[in-house]
Amino acid sequence: MSLSQKQMDKAEAWLSRHMPDRTCPARRRGNQGFWHQLVTAPTLQGERGTIPPMLAFLVAQCDHCGHAMLFDAAKIGIIERR
C-alpha cells in the first residue's frame, strides 16, 4: 500500500516528535528516512501458528547502511486498527 500525501505528512510529523534525531542508531552515520509504502507482518497465534490478524508497519531505513526500524502504522495513526 502506497501512502497518500496526507499519510506521509502524518508519518513525518509523528517521527519528528518521537525520533527528532534521525541519525542511524546502528552506525551513528546516515539518516533515517521512511518508505512511502507500508509493510505487513503476520502475528502467529496459538500452538499451530494461525496467521491473521496482520500488523502494518512504517519502515524507517538508514540511507547509509540500510539499518531499518518498524513503527506500528496504527499507533502512528496513518491507518486504523481493525
65 belongs to the binding site for Zn ion (CB under 5 A): yes
Cα 20 to Cα 41: distance, rounded to the nearest angstrom: 26
67 belongs to the binding site for Zn ion (CB under 5 A): yes
* Minimal distance, residue 68 CB to Zn ion, in Å: 9
* Minimal distance, residue 30 CB to Zn ion, in Å: 4
Cα 52 to Cα 55: distance, rounded to the nearest angstrom: 9
Do 37 and 48 contact (CB within 8 A), yes or no?
A: no
C-alpha cell at 21: 534525531
33 belongs to the binding site for Zn ion (CB under 5 A): no
Binding site for Zn ion (CB under 5 A): 24, 26-27, 30, 62, 64-65, 67
